[in-house]
A and B are shown apart, each in its own frame.
Chain A
Amino acid sequence: MTSLALAPPIPFGALAPEILLAVAACVVLVLGQSRREAVRRTVVPSLTLAAVGLGIVVLRGPELLGWWSLADSGGSGLYYDQLAQFVRVSALILGFIIVLASWHQARPEECGEFFSMLLLSLCGLMLVGPSADLVILFLALELVSIPTYILVVLGRLGPRGLEAGTKYFYLGALAAAITAYGFSFLYGVAGSATMDALAIERISSALRNPGSTEYALATAGVVISLLGLAFKIAAVPLHLYIADVYQGAAAPIAGMLGFVPKLAGFVALMRIVTLTEWGTLSGGLFWFLWVVAALSMTVGNVLALRQTNVRRLLAYSGIAHSGYMLVGVLAGPSAGEGFLGDGAAGVLYYVVIYGLANLGAFTLLGLLRVEGQACESIRDLNGLLRRAPGPALLLALSMLTLMGLPPTAGFWGKMSLFGSALAATSQVPLAAHDWLVALVVIAVLNTAIAAAYYLRVIASVLLVESDQPAEMAPREAQYWGALLCGFLILFFSFYPNALLGQGRQATTDIRQRVAQNDGDALAQRETPVARGVAGLPVPKGE
């Protein structure tokens, strides 16, 4: 892709799934005003589920049938590489589960708004994937965020819900402004808003000359953009909202917030970092990511350690998980071979697994009732195994996955992230070498800290006996959502190849671009073996 601006408009078929979701969102919004409660309670969620399901068919069908392939085509600020496909497929699959998990969540009079916002947010996530233009990327990110501001307060009119909504909205707006500010620097350095090869070359050549004005501008642009994106992924320093929002929002929405904005944020982050020399991060960007990763892990885990409220605990642990994933970002996509040398693939894998485990846990929490009240504190979960063995085991599975105990799916994710960071030590400048190893050590120590609080939840669910254990609310569809999460986690625990391979494939284009870019920069230096292999074209359909 040399010049996207001149590329022809993309075909209708490429945008069909997004259009489908947007249309469905409008239909659902209108149907939600119906006077008949049956329509609002049953037809609206069913229609939403059907739209998401149909979206998967529209997205994957034509390619599987061989009608057309979107691979490596694009135009109008969108570019369909493997990463875009990964994002769109996983958004729809997880979206399907999210819809199931929030089936009866909305109050009858708000059903229309609830599901239409859900669809719009998913639609935004699907647009983040192929965004190849700073403006489109910004718009897509806002399309992800704005519906979530509404979702957080829907049906939660108590002071807690309003506090969550207000906090989320103001901080979100601030973060969006920061991101836009950073993008403007990048636009200034690159000379165009399109993130094409030319922009990459200009920005990375600016970053190669410390001391120059361009260097300062480019560094500021990348760092400020990432700072704004830290809000989406809930990383330090824009993590302050997370506990209140996760506690204040409806349970499945809190689960959704662990996946949709996180995936959007990390994909955007990867797109931005690709503009620099990702394979050999150095200078200000390296230290920025290093500090944010280390702080996120440590702050998240230490705060989570002190919580007695399960939702707040999961919220703070979400900060830590973003920290782990930033380790993968720091490692870069071309550190070595396979998923142990591809931090970007590790991040993609981990986002999905974390999303599943988090969604499963929150869905179950939303379904559990103690004396008619929703489960909030860890103590409320006491003795769950006796009353409801299925949910208890599912909750324990989610916690073990988040903990990263082998051989759960979370373990493979951590292995991929930390392994790539260790593999990357041979690539970064010597001064950074030990710091990268130190970051991995911090990360594994944090894993151990995290085990302490996850274990408290597991202990209260499985070990402790209680006279009045929590009960499951009779909501079949939502329980099915949690079951689906559990099934996928188990599947990826014993067969992680499937998702790891997908993640690895998704980063193909980024890797090639990074290798090409680094190749220019490192032409004088001796080339490590791994980079030569990573730069080879990968056979299609592998």
Chain B
Amino acid sequence: MDALGIHLLIFLPLVAAVVVWTLPPRREALAPQVALWAGLAVMAASLLLWARVGPSGLVGEANWAWIAVGQALDGRMVSGVRISYHVGVDAISGPLLALTGVLVPLSVACSFASIRHRIREYYAWLLLLTTGMFGVFVARDVLLFYIFFEFTLVPLYFLIGIWGGQERRYAANKFFLYTFAGSVITFAGILYLAIRAAGLRNTALIDFDLLALSGLALSPVEQSVLFIAFFCGFAIKVPFFPLHTWLPLAHTEAPTAGSVLLAGILLKLGTYGFLRFSLPMVPAGAVEWAQAMGWLAVAGIIYGALCCWVQRDVKKLVAYSSVSHLGFCMLGMFSLVPVGLSGSVLYMVNHGVSTGALFLVVGMIYDRYHTRDIDKIGGLARTMPILTFFLVLFVLSSIGLPGLNGFVSEFTVLLAAYNSATLGPVFGALGATGILLGAIYMLYMAGTVLFGPVKEPPHTPDLAHVRTRDLNRREIAILAPLAALVIVLGVYPRLITDTLDPALREQVLSRVTAVAADRVTVGSASPAAAPRNNGVLGGGIGAHSMFASPQLPQSLAANRVSGRSDP
């Protein structure tokens, strides 16, 4: 039954895409509806799947041989190459799957008013993109993952290139080439890993299954090189600081739905790739490069924030804020402590919700005023009170106001970086300046656009397609679920972390800490202290989080010591 849900996630959008594309021209008006219903169906399926996810194990696992060339003995392959359609959801991919499910119908709905030419094609590409995104998160076969990972490029390329802004073609090409160039190197790494795995396991069967490729006894040099190979593909997608230049352009030129999915989901393919592949498969490489990753992340945080400060284009500002925010996400991940990893996954979800929502709001402003220039719009609070409410809420969530979702992840990530054995207080302190800068640029933007004297470009607002001056009912229905998520995830992050923490510890951290333990000279703390360590660092954000823990100072202090010695 669960497996059926997963097949539905992959194949329903695919079928719907074909249906939408082949609609006769006079039935064009049906296209958005078909897409919306398909989106709602996958939303339901993905939420149900996530609800069934437990701390360990796979939900809805299905494993079919897809490409198998070689010799079989008694129905089992003994030699050759096997690539399987192996899918399933666990606690790490579950939250991201649910996030995708939530954002897809919203991005379909937000296109109703703004997409007015080549309508059938548009929704077909959007649905194909949905297939690709779900495929990435459910794949349990590394090559299947890679195929979906690459496949997402094609629909997004067309979404940006056909329905984008002025420089859409340049943006689409740059986006495609950047990502493709990085990921072919990742591909070479995957191939090498699979072939080496067969050699190390002394079998004649080259298997791309995730488990078969994890926990191999590779030499440190190999791990280090493979980490860089993976880095090439994933870091461009994240994007890490010096490789981010495709992102502001692609975001700014993409149609609203494209920006929402790009920021909400597709950037997470990179972070998810690091978490799912780089860390468990080449842990020694990850430990080796962790500090470099930390520096890049911090550079991204500060550089992205400074870029935001000087933007005059609201959409570009939100785009650059993604560079900064994803820096936080990577900082948490490469702290290589439990709380940092789960904070990092939380950050992925929270960033998807709040930045996706910001892009939606910006799109709604653009539908009315046909400009995104901060200097040309002002005083929207008087004319559009509902929009103002939502924008302020999402801006505060993005800044990290306590009580809203952004705070939880930002705080835990910085805490982890500060206490990490691989990073350290310097990284925590530098990262924290990002919060400060974030507050400056976000509040500055909100202040200029929302408050002050009313300022509107001539001949606007254009109400031909949206009809009402303030948000209409459709638009409120789009933003309301995200607003609810912002508050729910801010108040009760355990919704995600209860299952996430044990899964991360079992699948990712156990491997990384084993390596780190080898590297750190035996000294101050005994290794046996690690399991007892149930403070902030050991216990994640769950039952022992800073909200529930009255003895926060002691546990912090205790973990400073253990965090430096035992991971």
On A, residues with C-beta under 8 Å from B are: 336-341, 400, 405-407, 411-412, 415, 418-419, 422-423, 426, 437, 440-441, 444-445, 447-448, 451-452, 455-456, 459, 462-464, 496-497, 500-501, 504, 529-530, 533, 538-539, 542
Contacts and interface: CB of A to CB of B under 8 A. Distances in A.
20 contacts: A337-B198, A338-B205, A338-B206, A340-B191, A419-B195, A422-B188, A422-B195, A444-B184, A445-B181, A448-B177, A448-B181, A459-B169, A459-B172, A459-B173, A462-B158, A464-B169, A497-B67, A500-B67, A529-B204, A533-B79
B81 A339 contact: yes
In this complex, the member of B68, B81, B146, B187 whose beta carbon has the largest number of chain A beta carbons within 10 angstroms is B81
Contacts of B176: 451, 455
Interface residues of B, number: 39
Contacts of A445: 181, 184-185
Contact of B70 (A337, A412, A426, A459): A337
Given A407-B151, A529-B202, A340 B81 contact: yes
A167 B146 CA distance: 43
Contacts of A422: 188, 191-192, 195
B402 interface: no
Interface string B167-189: 00100110011001100110110
Listed from nearest, the 9 A-B pairs whose CB atoms lie closest are A338-B81, A338-B80, A448-B181, A406-B147, A444-B184, A463-B161, A338-B70, A337-B204, A419-B191
B485 interface: no
Interface string B140-166: 000000110011011001100110000
Contacts of A539: 71
Contact of B194 (A340, A411, A455, A464): A340
B150 A448 contact: no
A410 B169 CA distance: 25
Contact of B188 (A338, A418, A504, A542): A418
Nearest to A412: B67
Contact of B198 (A336, A437, A452, A542): A336
Contacts of A504: 69
Given A337-B206, A419-B195, A422-B192, A542 B71 contact: yes
Nearest to A416: B81
A444 B172 CA distance: 21
Contacts of B202: 529
Interface string B68-102: 11110000000111000000000000000000000
Nearest to B162: A463
A502 B70 CA distance: 11
A337 to B, nearest CB: 5
Contact of B146 (A337, A406, A426): A406
A441 B188 contact: yes
B481 interface: no
A405 B69 contact: no
B220 interface: no
Nearest to A500: B69
A340 B169 contact: no
B199 interface: yes
Nearest to A538: B71
Nearest to A396: B154
A451 B161 CA distance: 16
A542 B78 CA distance: 14
A333 to B, nearest CB: 14
A451 B169 CA distance: 15
Interface in B198-233: 198-199, 202, 204-206
B195 A496 contact: no
Contacts of A462: 158, 162
A142 to B, nearest CB: 35
B193 to A, nearest CB: 10
Interface in B120-148: 146-147
Contact of B204 (A441, A456, A530, A542): A530
Contacts of B150: 405-406
Given A444-B188, A496-B67, A423 B195 contact: yes
Given A406-B147, A422-B191, A497-B69, 14 more contacts: A337-B81, A337-B205, A337-B206, A340-B81, A400-B154, A405-B154, A415-B191, A422-B192, A426-B199, A441-B185, A444-B185, A529-B202, A529-B204, A533-B79
Interface in B25-84: 67-71, 79-81
A438 to B, nearest CB: 11
Contacts of B154: 400, 405
Contacts of A400: 154
In this complex, the member of A415, A441, A530 whose beta carbon has the largest number of chain B beta carbons within 10 angstroms is A415
Nearest to A441: B188
Contacts of B172: 459, 463
A451 B181 contact: yes
Given A338-B79, A338-B206, A463-B161, A497 B199 contact: no
A455 B69 contact: no
Contacts of B158: 462-463
Given A338-B81, A448-B177, A459 B184 contact: no
Nearest to B198: A337
Contact of A336 (B147, B180, B187, B206): B206
A500 B69 CA distance: 7
Contacts of B184: 444-445, 447-448
B307 to A, nearest CB: 27
In this complex, the member of B153, B185, B188 whose beta carbon has the largest number of chain A beta carbons within 10 angstroms is B188
A463 B159 CA distance: 10
A412 B205 CA distance: 17
A161 B101 CA distance: 57
Nearest to B146: A406
B203 to A, nearest CB: 9
A186 to B, nearest CB: 33
A533 B70 CA distance: 12
Contacts of B146: 406
B147 A407 contact: yes
Contact of A337 (B79, B153, B180, B191): B79
A313 to B, nearest CB: 16
Contacts of B71: 538-539, 542
A387 to B, nearest CB: 14
A497 to B, nearest CB: 6
B151 A406 contact: yes
A412 B69 CA distance: 12
B69 A339 contact: yes
Contacts of B188: 418, 422, 440-441, 444
A459 B199 CA distance: 42
Contacts of B153: 405
B160 to A, nearest CB: 9
In this complex, the member of A337, A407, A426 whose beta carbon has the largest number of chain B beta carbons within 10 angstroms is A337
A400 B79 CA distance: 31
In this complex, the member of B68, B162, B195 whose beta carbon has the largest number of chain A beta carbons within 10 angstroms is B195
A197 to B, nearest CB: 26
A421 to B, nearest CB: 9
A508 B205 CA distance: 18
A248 to B, nearest CB: 30
Nearest to B80: A338
A460 to B, nearest CB: 10
B488 to A, nearest CB: 37
Given A338-B69, A338-B206, A407-B147, A418 B80 contact: no
Contacts of A497: 67-69
A83 B351 CA distance: 55
A437 B79 CA distance: 24
Nearest to B177: A452
B200 to A, nearest CB: 11
A448 B180 contact: yes
A408 to B, nearest CB: 10
Contacts of A533: 79, 204
Contacts of A447: 184
Contact of A451 (B80, B81, B180): B180
B119 to A, nearest CB: 14
B83 to A, nearest CB: 9
